[in-house]
Chains A and B, each alone.
Chain A
């Protein structure tokens, strides 16, 4: 399958025959994925099929049952796991913030040993603003924020760390329409300007159509099928494209966002 990969450069994230399990239960098998630099791929599938577990596995919080995961050609054990995780930041669906202000939360990862740069409040304010949160938020108690605000703070925390791969688990599930657009826009910009690659779990087909280059369909216990975006949209007259076919969704995506 990898031979048909259209990416010109080596994929930043590569999954080969990955199987994942949670609590001893096998969920997904034989997942193949090449995530290119600057690529946004949607992950879709029925509830409980293991999308979240797959993201946790890619982040290295749990081991895959089988298969290999590589970041820029290196497996997580080659670099140290904390370093690996810092480059493949996971933003979980349920926002998790520590006690303290938003600033405390955004600052904290810069205190870890794996930190390569220092916290910049200006950069934080800039990202928060792009997510529709003004600079007053920086000194608010994280616990006083709404679910949707917390979700965006978690995304800001991830973006501040400038990872190579962003693993987003239903990043807009608690957001209103404006905030959804803001999130989509900032992730799109990061992928286009900085080459960030994003793997995005979503239940919303419209969202994956307008936001992502392609969709990876996950089905429990089956070898996963991959279709390009246009097929996935249900045009039956077209034969299935080859796996990893890359669509050109940017025009439509941008139109959606700016309209």
Chain B
């Protein structure tokens, strides 16, 4: 799929022209007194700086192509993803970032490796040109699912604590008492990816596919990749949600089949 020959290379001048688009957004903000100009400018600046930085990092890592470099980059990505996954929920429990980290390490590596080794069959399996972008997509999507799942689960257990404890008090095991909240949380976490799979190609073209097409790839080749990506994301999201839900369950229900609701704290936003 080396189609970059067909791609039009952008010059610095081209990028400067694109800035006009952000300026339009800034003018709207000024005209309507949305007071978003400063934040917009900052956001635009961050976009350029962060992407440039990652561009250089990727270029360097692709250049080295060593397992160590790939591992370090992957670790940084997973840490960032686990922080992002837990920061959006309204409630929290101690050690929740570690819990998300553990889930993302396993789910991210398993799904990405499945794709690089069994589906695309790249050699070596950690070839950064494939491994890093794929891992990025897995993490980016499963963190959304994990975040929703976590939020729903903690919210349900805090709000419906009486119902869960009622079941426990009548002799339910912790699993029997937790099953309904767990199921609802996993369900909630998986809805976005299922919705996305339902409308993909009808409402919008996925970013990866768009990128490939803009870069000159044959649309059908891009579609094949996109199918693989969607399936990979679906697997990662469902496994991520289940993993997170089970780890939260293990943490909040002890071996005496008690719900330790006091561990759930409201996050200061």
Contact = CB atoms under 8 A, between A and B. Distances in A.
Interface of A: 23-24, 59-63, 76-77, 80-83, 85-86, 89-90, 92, 94, 96, 98, 108-109, 112-115, 157-158, 161
B166 A112 contact: no
Interface residues of B, number: 17
B97 to A, nearest CB: 24
Nearest to A59: B169
A112 B170 contact: yes
User: Ordered nearest first, which 4 A-B pairs have the shortest CB separation?
Assistant: A86-B171, A96-B166, A114-B171, A109-B170
16 contacts: A60-B256, A77-B256, A82-B171, A82-B173, A85-B168, A85-B169, A89-B170, A92-B166, A98-B163, A98-B166, A112-B170, A112-B176, A114-B172, A114-B173, A161-B170, A161-B171
Interface in B237-269: 256-259, 262
Interface string B112-124: 0000000000000
Given A60-B258, A82-B171, 11 more contacts: A23-B262, A59-B169, A82-B168, A89-B169, A90-B169, A98-B163, A98-B166, A108-B170, A112-B176, A114-B171, A114-B173
B170 A63 contact: no
Nearest to B164: A96
B151 interface: no
A96 B162 contact: yes
A interface, by DSSP: helix, strand, loop or mixed?
loop
Contact of A81 (B162, B165, B257, B262): B257
A12 B255 CA distance: 25
A86 B176 CA distance: 14
Contact of B258 (A62, A86, A108): A62
A90 B262 CA distance: 20
Contacts of B259: 61
A98 B126 CA distance: 50
A94 B173 contact: no
A60 B166 CA distance: 12
B258 A85 contact: no
Contacts of B167: 108
Nearest to A109: B170
A139 to B, nearest CB: 21
A157 B169 CA distance: 12
Interface in B157-187: 162-163, 165-173, 176
